[in-house]
A and B are shown apart, each in its own frame.
Chain A
């Protein structure tokens, strides 16, 4: 596609459930990033992939959060045992390589009840 796409656009779940959020980067972009944005705040970095490997996961808040990018294209962010504090918009971005201009997707709004 022409831009970064994310699915689903909205996800409502119950506390304690497991969720997966998907990101399709711009074709040919080797770098992929996940951020999350709470209301009234700027996005907060979670994890960066260069190709298939997580080159920087320093932003993941705890071990309930995990992300994969098995073939170096699509990435999935996985959240186990969701908590109400996980409610936010999860944004994905991609760039040609690390350090280049980042292009963002529309985000997935996660609501944990």
Chain B
């Protein structure tokens, strides 16, 4: 059974710092991997999608990498801002692409 783990569970940084969020998964047979952001009491906002054949994706200050063989992904956030404060969720799609399996998330707080 696929399990997704995100470390750390919570992270506090001062504004302007670069940071890395980690995600690991137990079964490398994935269809793709998606990173989401969730603000309190809100739904999920898709940040980046990495196909299983890709190594990384970039969007603005965000860069996500995927190492399928080792079961790891990282989300790199450059020059963090208070508006980046949210919970970041990593999710892997099963091999059929029919379901996402989520980690519990990393709650990020960026102070000004």
Residues on A facing B (Cβ under 8 Å): 4, 33, 35, 40-45, 48, 55-56, 58-59, 91, 93, 98-107
A101 to chain B, nearest CB (A): 4
Asked if B102 and A44 sit within 8 Å, CB to CB, the answer is yes
B56-67 interface code vs A (CB 8 A; 1 in, 0 out):
000000000000
Asked if A42 and B99 sit within 8 Å, CB to CB, the answer is no
Asked if A41 and B104 sit within 8 Å, CB to CB, the answer is yes
Asked if A43 and B100 sit within 8 Å, CB to CB, the answer is yes
A58 to chain B, nearest CB (A): 7
Residues on B with beta carbons closer than 8 Å to the beta carbon of A33: 99-100
Instruction: With A42-B4, A42-B102, A43-B91 given, name 6 new contacts (CB 8 A).
Output: A4-B43, A42-B91, A42-B105, A56-B96, A58-B99, A107-B42
Q: Chain B interface residue count: which class?
A: 20 to 34
Asked if A98 and B100 sit within 8 Å, CB to CB, the answer is no
Asked if A45 and B31 sit within 8 Å, CB to CB, the answer is no
Residues on A with beta carbons closer than 8 Å to the beta carbon of B86: none
**Residue among A41, A59, A99 making CB contact with B93, cutoff 8 Å:** A99
